[in-house]
Structure 1
Amino acid sequence: MPMPRSPRRRSLAAAALLLLPAAARAQVVRGTVLDVGDRAVPGVVVTLLDASSAVAARALSDERGAYRLLAPGPGTYRVHTLRIGFRPVTSAPVTLAAGEELTRRLVLTGVALALDTVRVADRAACRVGSDTATATFALWEQARGALTATQLTAATRSLGATIITYDRVLDPDGRRMRDQSLAARFGYVVQPWKELSADSLHRLGFVVSDADGSTTYHAPGLEALLSATFLTDHCFRLARSRDPSRIGIAFEPVPARRKADIRGTIWLDRKTSELRDLEFGYVNVSEVQRDRAGGAIQFVRMKDGAWAVSRWSIAMPELEPALPYSMRGAAQPRVAAIRVAGGELALATLGRDTVWASTPLVVVGSVLDSATNAPIADARVALLGTRHEARTDTAGRFRVEGVIPGEYTVEVHTPALDSLVAAQRVTVTLAEGAPPVRVRVASPVRVLAMLCGATTLRPSDGVVFGTVAAAGDTAVPRGVRVIAEWTERAAEDSAARVRWREAPSDAQGTFRLCGLPRATPLVLRAAGGDLGADPVPVTIGVGDRVARARLVLDRRADRGAMFRGVVLDDATLRPIAGAEVAMPEIARRVSTDERGAFRMTDVPAGEHRVLVRFPGFRAIDARLPFAPNGTTDRRIFLTLEPAR
């Protein structure tokens, strides 16, 4: 989609281009493309030409050299090939009847075209001799083959892709980056920007000023570059490069053209004749636009012979008017910033096979304490889903080599987080030019506070993390509640009180119990449905904040029941703290907490006498049934003794 525009801001129309392959027809020409050594040649643009030499169908040979052309109807056709490094080949005419399928074996018998002997002479564009014109045409045929192959690869949408896009804002000199945003997306290898048709570019130009004061810059698309209109609107000549391994085709608008247009150079490798990149700028525009706006497109041939745009960028000056010069009397625009939009193809895949990957990155970064900003040493930094990991040094810095650009989840383990069975995760987009990765890790105390809530975790409290599992079953048991119980005394001579904390397990079978005392024996129990677990003893050390436990549940019928509830004042409905809940027949008793709640575990199955009392209230004495592995919940109301 076009980038957002604002008054006097410059934009690039940038979106994925959807090209659909031609619909299937009954007439087919198929076959393979081979070299003189009888080896398959992938990445050959195979074109079906009709009797008037118009293109009727196109295809790209695959890694086996196979191609398939769908003719629009019966008739006489010729098959034409274009392949970087080989001279074009045109077959003898073939006649296709309605519904017929022919097989043609194409052999690239021409000698591979070498460009390292082509000489470049300084000639004015559109005024070249026949010798230079011939060399320019030969060079253009090589470039056209790669451009067409790139267009066909985008049209088939057969290659999966990881694409990194960026939007950067530079200072007016273009030397310092003010801001940058990166994004990764996954899709297909396509042309990464939306293009106008060749006729629209001819009519409107490559730079369009809109009514709202904004300006849209258009990059040259594959369709435009391959069109007859582009050839008509531009002059071509050979170009010399400072790099002796490259040779170029320079292009610029014909002298009569007045619309905003582009000029630039298509660069090829002298030895392999392969297309490398395209550089362009804008002409017939303002001086600022001519000097500051422009772009570059890089191409790559993959191992299966397909071609794609590997990198692209366009620089756009953002202008704002300055105060009028007193001597000139007219407002002069000035450059407020340079906006650069672009991206790169990070990875291309065909099924599970990687057919191309960009140059690996060296990722550097640091791990810091989120509260103090102090570096954290000996932290393990890993990119999830890969084998890449590193350790931080004493300055908290790390370095990871060989990373393919893309979006990753960075997982950081520190010694402190390991003690909590925790890790810090952040999602980052890694690409060339991206800033160093900085991961700010919360302290263990803060992590515990985030997990438990600051109101439930005191500095003296500890936490038990753990898992629940069902014996003999890989499925995670659901609806399990885990209880931690302990005994405490307010004073040496006071009665012991049973305290507890309760928490549910999650969908992964993990649980955490917060607000537990340290250096105190704890008993963990778990129950859910008809499942129960044997008690597990746990103690959180004096110098520790965390302990871990694993509880295994089964369906044993002889496991005791749970009795829990709350004791309330019948008149006010307020909880009664310190009420005694006893089962005299089995010598069990507990006291209610500040919320009036009580809990009694491992109650033998059967019917038992229950006695509930508190000074000043009438006692309740009743018998209640308890089922094996069951839970009995009661709300118990005590009534005040009448005044005497």
Structure 2
Amino acid sequence: MRWPSLTVFLRSLVAGFAACPTVLGAQTLTGAANRAEDGTPVAGAIIVVRALDSDSVLANAVTGARGQFSVVVGRTQIRVQALRIGQRPFDFGPVQLVTPPVPIALVLPNEPIPLASMRTTASRPCEIGPEAGADIVTLLEESRKTLLASQLSPTEGRARAQVRLFRELRSINGERLTLLEESQRAGETAQPFRSLSADSLARVGYVTGERDGVVYRAPDAEVLLSDSFLARHCYRAVAGTGANAAWVGLAFEPSQHVDNFVDVRGTLWLDRSTGALRQIHFVYDTLPRALRRADLGGTIEFTHLDDGLVFISRWEIRMPRVAIERGADLSGTRIGQQSRRLRLTGVQASGGEVVQMRQGDDLLFVGSSRAVDAEATSLAAAVAASGMTMESDTIATASTCTDVSGGEPTALVYGTVLRGDQRRVADAVVRAEWKQEFRQTGAFGWTWKTRQQSAFTASDGFFELCGIPRDRPVTIRAHVGDRRTRPLGVRVPALDGRLRVDLRFTTSAEATTPRGALRIAVRDADNHPIPFATITLNGGAIRVTNADGDLIVPNAPDSLAVSVRRIGFVAFDGKLAKPDSATAPPQTIVLLPIAERLATVSVNARGPSPLETRGFYDRVLRAQRGAFVAEFLTPEVLDARNVGRLSDMLVGRRYVAISRNPAGVRYAVGRAGCPMLVLLDGQVMQPEPGRGVAIDQIASATTIAAIEIYASTANAPAELVPLTGPNANGQGSCGIVALWTGGR
């Protein structure tokens, strides 16, 4: 059935999104946004300032890398709303603005929006029910966050981009034939193109006949969010396919067809795992029949960096090249009447891509080797000016790293780590991270894995990372001790096999600690980080260090008793004092290796452990940030218990209990004695009717490397829920026990 209230709601949603003009007597709102779970800054949060007595928007801003924001407001009494991609809105206020400004502190809770479990439908776009309508509203809200974030500038100022513009000829099937024109330009990032106003497009359409030919137009962000566009189009949620199977789409098409009027239809594609808008794809609707053989329309791609910056990284519009038969006339509205006289000969594509982006002296993004070659040249010049020498075979050594995966083509990323004075940094850890292996499991579930590749820099500061995926967002950063470079977004073009990037330590990249927090760094004897070490705080709460060996303890007392454990190292027990300054170095704990006589081995880089590849530590860190409620038994916790039966490992846990039948067989049960779902290395264990899984009969205690316990599937991460099978809403609502085997 048709849900008429959806269009009205969408129109009101977007109508309250545009900012009103500033009036006289304006005040300045300043402040900072931090995460509630650990006090770290929130970059890329959209700050919406609303009137106190209505929902009208007075101003918009976006937080910078340190979570700070500043915006001029035309009133003194306001309300503030913080929007984060993939998170529920946070409301704050009322706020009374004064002169001089008094900064406000926004503490944002972790409340993710579960796009991973969103159902899609095959129904007609204009015939939807309330449940599907709610999903459409959610997808539109998430899309508009990305669109708005791409138009706002943080307090650090708008980033500067180097952009490649192109115009090329393609075949009807999309094959590249001839590069007609290519140029580069540099400047502040902004909208790469601007369309006619939404009202104008609603009157004349997206393809019009002009005096000197036919003009094809693309909808920009303002048009897609406009009142008139929403009124003329219907929406539905659709599932991604092929390489984009991990995306969920918001498809749109005209609600009605008008003679001699060319409209657009397409899809806004969002990442299920993050809620980020990744791509907009559209095609021209109701074109003459002769032009429908080609994919005529456009594509807009968005890149989201770890420091909150969102920008359009690629865009193009595809127009037809035609041969006009005798008597054809393409002017005015007769374009819809002359299809039989057109012959499609090819496609002309015009667009651009961001090849490099900087903010001040910091390199934020590299998307093509076209700009990186110039960067390498400037590096060589800087090295020569400093009086140092640069080995002639530095670049050549990159060819020694070959891809032997035998699967999807990968790339080599290589370069140099530098200090602010251009000196090269030896023994720095360089780590690349990305998501891959997206798989649909069950009717509407998804799983994915976070992958990492690490390497150490050589004595000349040179590094190389093999196996980096092509045409996929990758984050790369380097660190030495507590100092880190700013995260660098990288996207290796699909046709390239190598990409050079240089990472630089700058003042802005120095590590800081949130107010009231204690930062702990766990290192080995060579000052290398020890990732995923288990830290017990004041004999109670258990936390795990991140992949860089660090842990931030929010709201820490002045003195904190800690117990640090990591398999293969001597345990540490002691007390730490919280420093007075947020810029003070972290409290470093050095763990010494357990003395063993081992054969000499050569290690070039730390590979991911089995628990890392299974996502165990990723879920631990997400739970520490408040994404869900769970209890984790790390290898160090299990090693300390040293029990003989698997069921003994679960005794005394918060979300699971052990029951026995008359024969003494033990079962894992949850609330009210209901049987828990048990996973062993991702496989569902078969329960006994009415009892559950005989926990001691599926594996021995010595083979278990780690355990995850969830009170219910509602509180479990999206990638584990589908593994529980079709009974997740029944038996699975009792809870999940996930067991992982392997060495500790």
Contact preservation (8 Å) 1:238, 1:247 = yes
How many angstroms apart in 2 are the aligned matches of 1:240 and 1:31? 39
Q: Quick one: which of 52, 56, 63 aligns to 2:58?
A: 56
Question: How much does 1:167 deviate?
Answer: 0.6
Question: How much does 1:240 deviate?
Answer: 1.0
Contact preservation (8 Å) 2:34, 2:40 = yes
Q: 2:377 matched to which residue of 1? A: 384
Question: How much does 1:59 deviate?
Answer: 0.4
Question: How much does 1:124 deviate?
Answer: 1.2
Contact preservation (8 Å) 1:36, 1:107 = yes
Secondary structure, in 3 states, of the residue corresponding to 1:93?
Answer: strand
Q: 2:107 matched to 1:107?
A: yes
Q: 2:315 matched to 1:312?
A: yes
Q: Quick one: which of 344, 354, 368 aligns to 1:335?
A: 344
Q: 1:162 matched to which residue of 2? A: 162
How many angstroms apart in 2 are the aligned matches of 1:359 and 1:329? 42
**One-letter amino acid of the counterpart of residue 232, structure 1:** A
**One-letter amino acid of the counterpart of residue 316, structure 1:** M
Q: Deviations over 1:301-347 (max 9, x none)?
A: 1232121001111110022212589xx99961112331111111111
Secondary structure, in 3 states, of the residue corresponding to 1:220?
Answer: coil
Change (3 A) 1:63 1:128: same
How many angstroms apart in 2 are the aligned matches of 1:384 and 1:154? 31
How many angstroms apart in 2 are the aligned matches of 1:324 and 1:402? 56
**One-letter amino acid of the counterpart of residue 346, structure 2:** A
Any residues of structure 2 matched to 1:13-28 within 5 Å, and which?
26-28=26-28
Q: 1:128 matched to which residue of 2? A: 128
After TM superposition, the structure 1 stretch with the greater mean CA deviation from structure 2, 141-150 or 99-108, is 99-108
Q: Quick one: which of 281, 284, 287 aligns to 1:285?
A: 287
Q: 1:203 matched to which residue of 2? A: 203
**One-letter amino acid of the counterpart of residue 221, structure 1:** D
How many angstroms apart in 2 are the aligned matches of 1:156 and 1:197? 30
**Count of aligned residue pairs for this structure pair:** 366
Question: How much does 1:102 deviate?
Answer: 4.7
After TM superposition, the structure 1 stretch with the greater mean CA deviation from structure 2, 223-232 or 119-128, is 223-232
Secondary structure, in 3 states, of the residue corresponding to 1:128?
Answer: coil
Contact preservation (8 Å) 1:155, 1:190 = no
Q: 2:219 matched to 1:220?
A: yes
Question: How much does 1:384 deviate?
Answer: 3.2
Q: 2:267 matched to 1:265?
A: yes
Q: 2:236 matched to 1:237?
A: yes
Q: Quick one: which of 62, 69, 72 aligns to 1:70?
A: 72
Contact preservation (8 Å) 2:232, 2:256 = no
After TM superposition, the structure 1 stretch with the greater mean CA deviation from structure 2, 237-246 or 252-261, is 252-261
Change (3 A) 1:130 1:181: same
Secondary structure, in 3 states, of the residue corresponding to 2:103?
Answer: strand
Q: Deviations over 1:234-266 (max 9, x none)?
A: 211101111331111111122265632211111
Any residues of structure 2 matched to 1:397-436 within 5 Å, and which?
402=413
Question: How much does 1:359 deviate?
Answer: 5.4
Question: How much does 1:107 deviate?
Answer: 2.5
Q: Deviations over 1:431-482 (max 9, x none)?
A: 969999xxxxxxxxxxxxxxxxxxxxxxxxxxxxxxxxxxxxxxxxxxxxxx
Normalising by structure 1, report the TM-score: 0.51
How many angstroms apart in 2 are the aligned matches of 1:143 and 1:301? 13
Change (3 A) 1:134 1:279: same
Contact preservation (8 Å) 1:347, 1:356 = yes
Secondary structure, in 3 states, of the residue corresponding to 2:60?
Answer: strand
Change (3 A) 1:433 1:108: closer
Secondary structure, in 3 states, of the residue corresponding to 1:385?
Answer: helix
How many angstroms apart in 2 are the aligned matches of 1:127 and 1:241? 21
How many angstroms apart in 2 are the aligned matches of 1:207 and 1:155? 39
**One-letter amino acid of the counterpart of residue 207, structure 1:** V
Contact preservation (8 Å) 2:288, 2:338 = no
Question: How much does 1:130 deviate?
Answer: 0.7
Secondary structure, in 3 states, of the residue corresponding to 2:151?
Answer: helix
Q: 1:180 matched to which residue of 2? A: 180
Contact preservation (8 Å) 2:27, 2:75 = yes
Secondary structure, in 3 states, of the residue corresponding to 1:127?
Answer: coil
How many angstroms apart in 1 are the aligned matches of 2:187 and 2:234? 37
Residue segments in structure 2 that go unaligned for 5+ positions in a row: 1-18, 329-336, 381-393, 400-410, 416-491, 498-744
Identity in percent: 29
Change (3 A) 1:154 1:103: closer
How many angstroms apart in 2 are the aligned matches of 1:95 and 1:330? 62
Question: How much does 1:156 deviate?
Answer: 9.3
After TM superposition, the structure 1 stretch with the greater mean CA deviation from structure 2, 160-169 or 149-158, is 149-158
How many angstroms apart in 1 are the aligned matches of 2:57 and 2:217? 27
Q: 2:362 matched to which residue of 1? A: 353
Contact preservation (8 Å) 1:148, 1:226 = no
How many angstroms apart in 2 are the aligned matches of 1:352 and 1:137? 40
How many angstroms apart in 2 are the aligned matches of 1:56 and 1:203? 29
**One-letter amino acid of the counterpart of residue 166, structure 1:** F
Contact preservation (8 Å) 2:22, 2:58 = no
**One-letter amino acid of the counterpart of residue 252, structure 1:** E
Change (3 A) 1:154 1:333: farther
Contact preservation (8 Å) 1:233, 1:257 = no
Q: 2:680 matched to which residue of 1? A: none
Change (3 A) 1:342 1:240: same
**One-letter amino acid of the counterpart of residue 365, structure 2:** W
How many angstroms apart in 1 are the aligned matches of 2:104 and 2:293? 52
Secondary structure, in 3 states, of the residue corresponding to 1:92?
Answer: strand
Secondary structure, in 3 states, of the residue corresponding to 1:30?
Answer: strand
Q: 1:303 matched to which residue of 2? A: 306
Q: Deviations over 1:254-283 (max 9, x none)?
A: 226563221111111111112211111011
Q: Which has the larger radius of gyration?
A: 1
Q: Quick one: which of 267, 270, 277 aligns to 1:275?
A: 277
Change (3 A) 1:153 1:280: farther
Change (3 A) 1:241 1:96: same
Secondary structure, in 3 states, of the residue corresponding to 1:87?
Answer: coil
How many angstroms apart in 2 are the aligned matches of 1:308 and 1:121? 30
Contact preservation (8 Å) 2:22, 2:73 = no
**One-letter amino acid of the counterpart of residue 111, structure 1:** E
User: Which structure has more strand as a fraction of its residues?
Assistant: 1
Question: How much does 1:92 deviate?
Answer: 3.3
Change (3 A) 1:140 1:355: same
How many angstroms apart in 1 are the aligned matches of 2:110 and 2:128? 27
Q: 2:41 matched to which residue of 1? A: 40
Q: 1:147 matched to which residue of 2? A: 147
Q: Deviations over 1:591-622 (max 9, x none)?
A: xxxxxxxxxxxxxxxxxxxxxxxxxxxxxxxx
Change (3 A) 1:354 1:251: same
Residue segments in structure 1 that go unaligned for 5+ positions in a row: 1-18, 365-380, 394-399, 405-430, 437-644
Q: 2:650 matched to which residue of 1? A: none
How many angstroms apart in 1 are the aligned matches of 2:227 and 2:358? 33
Contact preservation (8 Å) 1:157, 1:188 = no
How many angstroms apart in 2 are the aligned matches of 1:251 and 1:42? 31
Q: 2:184 matched to 1:191?
A: no
Secondary structure, in 3 states, of the residue corresponding to 1:126?
Answer: coil
Secondary structure, in 3 states, of the residue corresponding to 2:89?
Answer: strand
